[in-house]
Amino acid sequence: MKIWQNDTFYLERHESDIPWLKLFTETPYKEMSDAPGEVRMQIYTILDIVEREMIAYYRPDKINIASFGNYLPHLHWHIMARFRNDAYFPEPMWGQKQRESTLDLPDFDTFAKTLQKRLSVL
């Protein structure tokens, strides 16, 4: 589900027990080095905004940011708020599940609206 977009990027929610967003470029660059310099700088700006908003809103124990693209060779980034009691912590979300977990987190829609407002200037 897309929660924000402009002419160059879109941000979508990844369904998960943790707050997990994915940032994509509209143009399907294969590698970060394929993207023009201005796009690369905007990626870092967006990642910084998302990370700061996740920290302020969710108060996670850690933020994970990753870019793989092995299955989908389209430049994109995963941004995840991690908690010591989430099902996989301290493993990556693609790792081995560590425990059963139910997180009591604030409403995602409120977070998304705040994030949309912050990103609207880009």
pLDDT given for residue 70 in this prediction: 76
Q: Which pLDDT value is given to residue 69?
A: 77
Radius of gyration in angstroms for the set of CA atoms belonging to the chain, rounded to a whole number: 15
What pLDDT does residue 68 have?
83
pLDDT tens digits in sequence order for the chain, 122 residues long: 999 999 999 999 999 999 999 999 999 999 999 999 999 999 999 999 999 999 999 999 999 999 987 777 899 999 999 999 999 999 999 999 999 999 999 999 999 999 999 999 98
Tell me what pLDDT residue 82 has: 98
pTM: 0.94
Angle CA 77–57–120, to nearest 5: 60
Q: Give the domains, in start order, of the chain with CATH numbers.
A: 2-119 (3.30.428.10)
